[in-house]
């Protein structure tokens, strides 16, 4: 019988293979250099092509366009949230008819492009002018701004209804039962137990939806609403200066990034009791 009499003495680990320039690092530096070159080129283009006259003429228009975009998106998010509640409840209802109507609404608005919906409302409903005039709604559908608001609202309502439904259904059954066991009425149980938990789940998708809507709202420029994109197109059609698009890009990126960070802050603040 043999056994180990002496252990192998401890040895130093093999030297780490030091690769000073890994392919990943080379690629990273190359792409970053590319980004830097692009940024410098853009900055150069902006400084070189700086025109005080253009700035004075189009600067205020851009700010006005920014305000139009923000008010359009803000209003349609609020109106869409109001409209989404009944749709979400219809979608959760046991009634087959109600359920399928809500499902059809959501399906149609989520699987057709916003641009087509906008054209359908702005140009399409325009061909029903006599009927609309007799109902007294023509003032609404005549204005491109109202049509943009209307189509954005209908569109976001469909998305928000799905978010709301998903969030409410994500609350476990036990919460309903617990509330019932405590003798809370259905109404109170929903308001005080289900909804607060659902809204925390819905917070992140709501943020994404607002970002998507800000980006989607650029389409209203095509039906002659002078939002940020509309003013940009106006400035470009007058000056043929490529900078006009770059300024719009800066504005949009600034809004979206600001909103993203604000939303992350709100979420961290509202869910601080859930942190472990």
Q: Which is nearer to another protein, 199 or 212 (CB)?
A: 212
Residue from 37, 82, 253, 268 binding another protein (CB under 8 A)? 253
Considering the complex, what minimum distance in angstroms separates the CB of residue 212 from another protein? 9
Query: Applying CB under 8 A, which of residues 89, 245, 263, 267 lies at the interface with another protein?
Result: 245
Q: Residue 81: which residues within 8 A CB-CB, separation 6 or more?
A: 157, 160
| 48 makes contact with another protein (CB under 8 A) | no
| CA nearest to 218, candidates 242, 243, 248 | 248
Q: Which residue lies nearer to another protein by CB, 131 or 170?
A: 131
Q: Where are the alpha helices (DSSP H) in the chain?
A: 23-48, 52-92, 96-111, 114-119, 129-135, 138-142, 144-170, 173-181, 186-189, 195-216, 228-239, 243-270
Give Cβ neighbours of residue 258 (< 8 Å, ≥ 6 apart): none
Q: Which of 68, 76, 84, 117 binds another protein (CB under 8 A)?
A: 117
Q: Which of 66, 72, 81, 114 binds another protein (CB under 8 A)?
A: 114
The binding track of 8-47 with respect to another protein, each residue x by CB under 8 A or -, is: --------------x-xx-xxx-xx--x------------
Q: Which of 89, 128, 146, 263 binds another protein (CB under 8 A)?
A: 128
What gap in Å lies between CA 8 and CA 11, rounded to an integer? 8
Contact with another protein (CB under 8 A) among 79, 101, 115, 203? 115
Burial 208-224 (b: 16+ CB within 10 A, else e): ebbbebbebbbbbbbbe
For residue 105, state whether it binds another protein (rule: CB under 8 A): no
- Tell the smallest beta-carbon distance from residue 49 to another protein (Å): 12
User: How many residues bind to another protein according to rule CB under 8 A?
Assistant: 48
- Locate tokens 């252990």: which residue? 7
What torsion, rounded to 10 degrees, do the Cα atoms 238, 57, 231, 212 define? 140
Chain residues that interact with another protein, rule: CB under 8 A: 22, 24-25, 27-29, 31-32, 35, 107-108, 111-117, 119-120, 123-128, 211, 214-219, 221-222, 229, 232-233, 236, 242, 245-246, 248-249, 252-253, 256-257
């Amino acid at each position: 019988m043999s056994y180990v009499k002496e252990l192998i003495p401890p040895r130093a680990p093999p030297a780490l293979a030091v690769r000073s320039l890994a392919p990943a690092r080379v690629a990273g530096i190359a792409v970053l250099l590319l980004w830097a070159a692009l940024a410098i080129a853009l900055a150069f283009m902006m400084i070189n092509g700086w025109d005080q006259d253009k700035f004075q003429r189009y600067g205020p228009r851009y700010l006005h366009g920014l305000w139009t975009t923000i008010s359009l998106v803000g209003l349609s998010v609020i109106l869409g949230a109001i409209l989404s509640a009944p749709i979400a409840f219809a979608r959760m209802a046991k009634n087959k008819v109600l359920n399928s109507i809500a499902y059809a609404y959501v399906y149609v608005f989520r699987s057709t492009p916003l641009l087509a919906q906008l054209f359908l409302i702005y140009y399409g409903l325009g061909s029903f002018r006599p009927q609309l005039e007799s109902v007294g709604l023509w003032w609404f559908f005549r204005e491109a701004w109202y049509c943009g608001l209307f189509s954005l609202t209908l569109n976001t309502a469909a998305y928000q209804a799905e978010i709301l439904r998903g969030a409410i259904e994500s609350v476990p059954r036990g919460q309903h039962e617990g509330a019932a066991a405590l003798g809370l009425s259905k109404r109170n149980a929903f308001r005080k137990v289900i909804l607060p938990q659902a809204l925390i789940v819905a917070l992140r998708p709501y943020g994404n939806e607002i970002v998507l809507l800000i980006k989607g709202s650029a389409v209203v420029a095509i039906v002659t609403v002078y939002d940020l994109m509309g003013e940009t197109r106006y400035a470009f059609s007058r000056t043929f200066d490529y900078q006009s698009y770059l300024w719009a890009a800066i504005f949009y990126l600034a809004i979206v990034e600001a909103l993203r960070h604000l939303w992350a802050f709100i979420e961290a603040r509202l869910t601080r009791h859930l942190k472990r």
